[in-house]
Amino acid sequence: KLLQLCKFKELEVYKVYKDAGISAKDMEHRPQFQEMLKDMKEGKINYIVAYKLDRITRSVRDLEELISVLEQYNCFLLCDRDDVNTSTANGRFFVRMLTVLSQLEIEIVSERTKFGMVGAIKSGHLPGVKPLGYKNDSTRRTIIDPATAPIIKRVFDLYLQGKTYLQIATIFNNENKKKKENK
């Protein structure tokens, strides 16, 4: 779709940059994105074409930095789905508004997730794999597992005796080897 857009706009495609599976929450940890910026600074590209603005960044701070760099190197951003074009003042304003909304969405989802996790924990539901010494009961509440709780108690007792993590692990590994040898 983007290649068709470039053809329609009569833009020559220098390279396709794709950070598959990497979040657009920041620009710093995206190798292809960084390579694209490098190519822009070297004058190899003068348009960045993306499907949507939130595929470029969801950070207001990163967007401001990006727009500044784009202006400095006489490069423009086109986003097909959001009808973004930073070559005009209105386009730059619109891009900023879309990014503010994207960042708001991220923050709301984060707040809801944290709120849900806190609520689940308060009601006795630990998300994810249960730590050794705990299990789910029939109502999916987290309870002490009588079968493995003694192991945890012993780990704490050994620690309180001054044993290091490595010494405790060695004790358990040696005991496990002896059990296997006796079988």
Give 7-63 pLDDT, tens digit per residue. Answer: 998 999 999 998 887 776 767 788 898 999 999 999 999 999 988 877 888 777 888
> Which spans in 42-148 are helix H?
60-72, 89-122
pLDDT at 84: 77
Count CB atoms within 10 A of the CB of residue 48.
Answer: 20
For the full predicted model, state whether its pTM sits above 0.75. Answer: no
CB 95 within 8 A of CB 87: no
